Structure 1
Amino acid sequence: MKIWVYIIALVAGLSLSVEGAIYGELGKSIGKLESSFYNFFVGTIIIAIVLLFLGKGSLSYTFKAPKWQLTGGLLGIIYLTILVISIPIVGVGLAMISVIVGQMAMSMIIEHNGWLGSRTSKLNKEKLAAVALMAVSLLLIF
């Protein structure tokens, strides 16, 4: 079983909540857009250093890759900037539950249709119930 993958994903989720809280506060100190800029600037420097030592791909392929595959950076900026703006207003819990409900719903649509190169996984009543229950939890937290 690949339990370690679930553990790593859980740690990533924990990290996102901490990151959101930190950047929400930083946004109050230096500005919301400035906080997002800082995140991506520092992240770019760190990943560039890691890439120098551990990179095995082909960064030059970026110019040949299908343009839709390059939209992840834009989506990451939108995601983080929305968190920086919303967390000071609604709190970490409500913001992150909203993110999770959105992620669950969209991931099910993507996998149901096999979009973006994902494996196909048909919708069923259990998956729909899971999203519905998460949406109810969002209402209960609100």
Structure 2
Amino acid sequence: MAQHAFTMVLAGIGIPILAALNAALGAKIGSPAAAATVLFTVAFISCACVVLVTGPEAFLRLGGTPKHLFFAGVLIAFYVLSITYIAPSFGIGNAVFFVLLGQLISAAVIDHFGLFGARISPINPTRALGIAVMAAGVFITQKV
């Protein structure tokens, strides 16, 4: 469990770095959409290398996969495009803090109802308070 938590903290650290780097690339080349395309190209190559090492036979099972699961690609494209366009004028911190607020809401709903096969973790008063405190933290960072 600790290793998973550590990995997710590293992934979380990477989100604002990704936003800052891609926003800077978009500004430098004059096209946030082109910057996002470059990001996805590099990400594709990186993932393809991992798949080649861990087992490309997984691609053979794609045919029987429910098509709605591919919507995740649209969501990541929306995230990258929106943060690349908005972060330079709105600020990296502001953009990421509001993304975090959206993640808190979405994660709570997904866990509460067990959507998409997630483990059910109902929102009880303690969990609701924790989410509210985290949301308040996002709000406070915007007022300082």
* Partner Cα separation in structure 2 for residue 94 and residue 57 of structure 1: 41
Please name the residue that 1:11 is paired with.
10
Q: Secondary structure at the match of 1:121?
A: coil
Please name the residue that 2:134 is paired with.
134
Report if aligned partners of 2:22, 2:36 keep a CA contact under 8 Å in 1.
Answer: yes
Please name the residue that 1:98 is paired with.
98
- Partner deviation per Cα, 1:105-126 (whole Å, 9 max, x = no partner): 1111111111100111110122
Report if aligned partners of 1:27, 1:84 keep a CA contact under 8 Å in 2.
Answer: yes
Q: Residue 57 and residue 10 in structure 1: after superposition, are their counterparts in 2 closer, same or farther (change >3 A)?
A: farther
1:56 Cα deviation (Å)?
5.4
Q: Residue 38 and residue 66 in structure 1: after superposition, are their counterparts in 2 closer, same or farther (change >3 A)?
A: same
Q: Secondary structure at the match of 1:81?
A: helix
Report if aligned partners of 1:20, 1:92 keep a CA contact under 8 Å in 2.
Answer: yes
Report if aligned partners of 1:24, 1:83 keep a CA contact under 8 Å in 2.
Answer: yes
Query: Any stretches of 5+ residues in structure 2 without a counterpart?
Result: none
Q: For this pair of structures, how many residues does the alignment match?
A: 141
Please name the residue that 1:48 is paired with.
48
Over aligned residues, Cα RMSD in angstroms?
1.5
Query: Any stretches of 5+ residues in structure 1 without a counterpart?
Result: none
| Aligned-residue identity in percent | 25
Please name the residue that 1:22 is paired with.
21
1:140 Cα deviation (Å)?
2.2
* Paired residues for 1:78-117 under 5 Å: 78-117=78-117
* Partner Cα separation in structure 1 for residue 123 and residue 27 of structure 2: 41
